[in-house]
Chains A and B, each alone.
Chain A
Amino acid sequence: MTAAITTVGLSKQFGSTIALDHLDLAVPTGSVFGFLGPNGAGKTTTIRMLMGLARPSTGYATVLGLDATRDRDEVHRRVGYLPGDFTAYADLTGGEYLDYLGRLRADADPRRREELVDRLELDVSRTIRTLSRGNRQKVGLVQAFMHNPDLLVLDEPTSGLDPLMQRQFREIASAARAAGSTVFLSSHVLGEVEEIADTVAIVKEGRLVVVDALEHLKERARRHIELTFRDPPPASTFDSIPGVRDVTVLDHTIRLVIEGSMEAVFRAAAPLGVENVVADHAPLDEILIGYYESDSS
Chain B
Amino acid sequence: MNRFVIFTKTIRDQRRGIFAWGISIAALVVVMALMWPTVRDMPDLKRLLSNYPEALRKIFKIDTYGTPAGYLNAELFSLILPAVFLVFSIGRGARLIAGEEEDHTLDVLLCAAPSRSRVAFEKAAALVVTVGALGGILFMTMLLSSWAIDMRLAIGDIARGTIAVTALSIEFGLLALAVGAISGRRSTAAGISTLIAAAAFVLYLLGQLITAFEPWRGLSPFTQALDHGPLGPEWSIGTIAMCACGAAVFAAALPRFTRRDIRT
**Could you list which residues of chain A lie within 8 angstroms of chain B, going by C-beta atoms?**
44, 48, 51, 53-55, 72-73, 76, 79, 81, 83, 85-89, 91, 100-101, 103-106, 140, 143
Does B5 lie within 8 Å of A103, measured CB to CB?
Answer: yes
Return chain B residues, CB-CB under 8 Å to A103.
1-2, 5
Select from chain B the residue with minimum beta-carbon distance to A140.
B108
Interchain CA distance A87-B2 in the complex, whole Å: 24
Does A101 lie within 8 Å of B110, measured CB to CB?
Answer: no
Q: Is B112 an interface residue (CB 8 A)?
A: yes
Interchain CA distance A72-B114 in the complex, whole Å: 10
Minimum Cβ distance to chain A for residue B48 (Å) = 51
Return chain A residues, CB-CB under 8 Å to B260.
55
CB-CB under 8 A for A104 and B6, given A81-B111, A83-B104: yes
Interchain CA distance A83-B105 in the complex, whole Å: 10
Select from chain A the residue with minimum beta-carbon distance to B109.
A104
Interchain CA distance A260-B2 in the complex, whole Å: 55
> What is the number of residues of chain B that contact chain A, defined by CB distance less than 8 Å?
24
**Could you list which residues of chain B lie within 8 angstroms of chain A, going by C-beta atoms?**
1-2, 5-6, 9, 13, 103-105, 107-116, 259-262, 264
Return chain A residues, CB-CB under 8 Å to B110.
53, 76
Interchain CA distance A86-B13 in the complex, whole Å: 20
- What are 25 A-B pairs at a CB distance below 8 A? A48-B262, A48-B264, A54-B261, A54-B262, A55-B261, A73-B115, A76-B111, A79-B111, A81-B111, A83-B107, A86-B104, A86-B108, A87-B103, A87-B104, A89-B105, A100-B5, A100-B9, A103-B1, A103-B2, A104-B109, A104-B112, A105-B112, A106-B1, A143-B108, A143-B112
Return chain A residues, CB-CB under 8 Å to B1.
103, 106
Return chain A residues, CB-CB under 8 Å to B264.
44, 48, 85
Minimum Cβ distance to chain A for residue B88 (Å) = 19
Return chain B residues, CB-CB under 8 Å to A53.
107, 110-111, 261-262
Return chain A residues, CB-CB under 8 Å to B114.
73, 104
Does A83 lie within 8 Å of B108, measured CB to CB?
Answer: yes
Does A104 lie within 8 Å of B105, measured CB to CB?
Answer: no
CB-CB under 8 A for A51 and B261, given A100-B9, A104-B5, A106-B1: no
Return chain B residues, CB-CB under 8 Å to A85.
104, 264
Return chain B residues, CB-CB under 8 Å to A79.
111
Minimum Cβ distance to chain B for residue A12 (Å) = 9
Minimum Cβ distance to chain A for residue B199 (Å) = 32
Does A87 lie within 8 Å of B111, measured CB to CB?
Answer: no
Select from chain B the residue with minimum beta-carbon distance to A83.
B107
Return chain B residues, CB-CB under 8 Å to A89.
105
Minimum Cβ distance to chain A for residue B18 (Å) = 16
Return chain B residues, CB-CB under 8 Å to A51.
107, 111
Minimum Cβ distance to chain B for residue A83 (Å) = 5
Return chain B residues, CB-CB under 8 Å to A140.
108
Minimum Cβ distance to chain B for residue A43 (Å) = 12
Select from chain B the residue with minimum beta-carbon distance to A143.
B108
Return chain B residues, CB-CB under 8 Å to A143.
108, 112
New contact pairs (13) apart from A48-B261, A91-B13, A103-B2, CB-CB < 8 Å: A51-B111, A53-B107, A53-B111, A53-B261, A54-B262, A76-B111, A76-B112, A86-B104, A87-B103, A87-B105, A101-B108, A104-B109, A140-B108
